[in-house]
Amino acid sequence: MVERPTPGAFRPAVKTATVPMFPLVRDQARRWSPGWCTYTDGFDENPDIEVFCGGENEKSARAAACWRQGNLLHFGFQQSPAEMNEAGQRLLLNCIAYISRFTEDRPIALTPSVFAGPVGLPRAYLDRRLGESGDMTDATWLLSHPTIERLKNKNRDEVKKWYLEARGFLHPGPELSLEVDEDARTLGAPIDRLEFFHKAIAALRSGDNPANRAARLLARYAPMDAGKIESAAVWDQWFTENRPYLFFSDQGDYRWYVDLLAKRRGVPCGELRGTARSSRP
């Protein structure tokens, strides 16, 4: 291990002047080309994602350098094996050996690439800005104009209170900026909790406006392969069958998913994580 100056992007999470790091290259004095790392905001909810390690980077202390989604491996270090020292070569080999064990697992949530065009950003970006500090200064680029207008005269404590109450109803609006889903708030159905299905299915039974609102919400957030279900009775049956295997992702698409690997194995998706998702011998 060597001590490296703490990267600016690691602050304020890391307060020490240096950070212990593990060198992966032969020539540590050379200025190397940077590799690729990934923000891990929201990854904790996705059972198919597992982070192995980070690295020195310009994003954040929690950014992932080596991680997997299903049977796909992301190895973010740029250097070739010939440029790596023994530790770097062994890390690469271990990552390849490890991912080879996940023959049944597959990526589940759709995560549109930011390089392909605008996407709805995860609420974790607002957690740091509004949830923790209540500071609107660096949050306006994430929010819809009506939401900004609603919050602009509130002090920090009022903004934090609003965010705590509104977070479960936030979704990308027509311009992909985050705003409250009025259908969900009117129904009292937070889009990211299992309570969402209880409230929506109950509203389907009531008929008229609540049923129409529930149908819009289920089409918007339920798994795409469930979109053709119409009756409350069939929704109830579907929810009972899939409840242990459901999880919500706000990584671009803001939608519920069924963890099919967990369902095949009869293990709740919250318990089927990491190595447990590898294929059995």
Give the model's pLDDT for residue 158: 97
- pLDDT per residue as tens digits for the range 159-175: 999 999 999 999 999 99
Q: Which residue has the tokens 């004095």?
A: 29
Q: Please state the three-class secondary structure of the chain as a single string.
A: CEEEECCHHHCCCCCCCEEEECCCECCCCCCCCCCCCECCCCHHHCCCEEEEECCCCCCCCCCECEEEECCEEEECCCCCCCCECHHHHHHHHHHHHHHCCCCCCCCCCCCCCHHHCCCCCCCHHHHHHHHCCCCCCCCHHHECHHHHHHHCCCCHHHHHHHHHHHHHHEEECCCCCEEECHHHHHHCCCCCCCHHHHHHHHHHHHCHHHHHHHHHHHHHHCCHHHCCCCCHHHHHHHHHHHHHHEEEECCCCCEEEECHHHHHHCCCCCCCCHHHHCCCC
Do residues 161 and 195 touch, judged by C-beta distance below 8 A? no
Question: 131 or 43: whose pLDDT is higher?
Answer: 131
23-36 average pLDDT score: 90
Do residues 77 and 23 touch, judged by C-beta distance below 8 A? no
Structural tokens at position 230: 């119409």
Confidence check: pLDDT of 281 > 80: no
Most distant pair of Cα atoms in the chain: their distance:
70
Alpha carbon of residue 233 to chain centroid: 31
Q: How many CB atoms lie within 10 A of CB 97?
A: 9
Confidence of residue 24 (pLDDT cuts 50, 70, 90): very high
| β-strand partners of 67 | 51, 74
Confidence of residue 42 (pLDDT cuts 50, 70, 90): confident
Q: Which long-range contacts (CB under 8 A, 24 or more apart) does 4-8 make?
A: 4/56, 7/56, 7/57, 7/58, 8/58
Give the model's pLDDT for residue 76: 96
Nearest to 134 by CA among 143, 126, 142: 126
Give the model's pLDDT for residue 44: 86
Lowest mean pLDDT among 37-46, 213-222, 240-249: 37-46
Confidence check: pLDDT of 157 > 80: yes
Give the model's pLDDT for residue 64: 96
Confidence check: pLDDT of 128 > 80: yes
Do residues 108 and 256 touch, judged by C-beta distance below 8 A? no
Confidence of residue 72 (pLDDT cuts 50, 70, 90): very high
For residues 135 and 156, give the distance between their C-alpha atoms in angstroms, rounded to a whole number: 6
Q: Taking the model in full, what pTM does it have? A: 0.91
Give the model's pLDDT for residue 115: 79
Question: For helices 208-221 and 195-206, what crossing angle results, to 10°?
Answer: 140
Confidence check: pLDDT of 119 > 90: no
Q: Which residue has the tokens 């998702």?
A: 277
- pLDDT per residue as tens digits for the range 229-270: 889 999 999 999 999 999 999 987 899 999 999 999 999 999
Confidence check: pLDDT of 112 > 90: no
Give the model's pLDDT for residue 82: 95
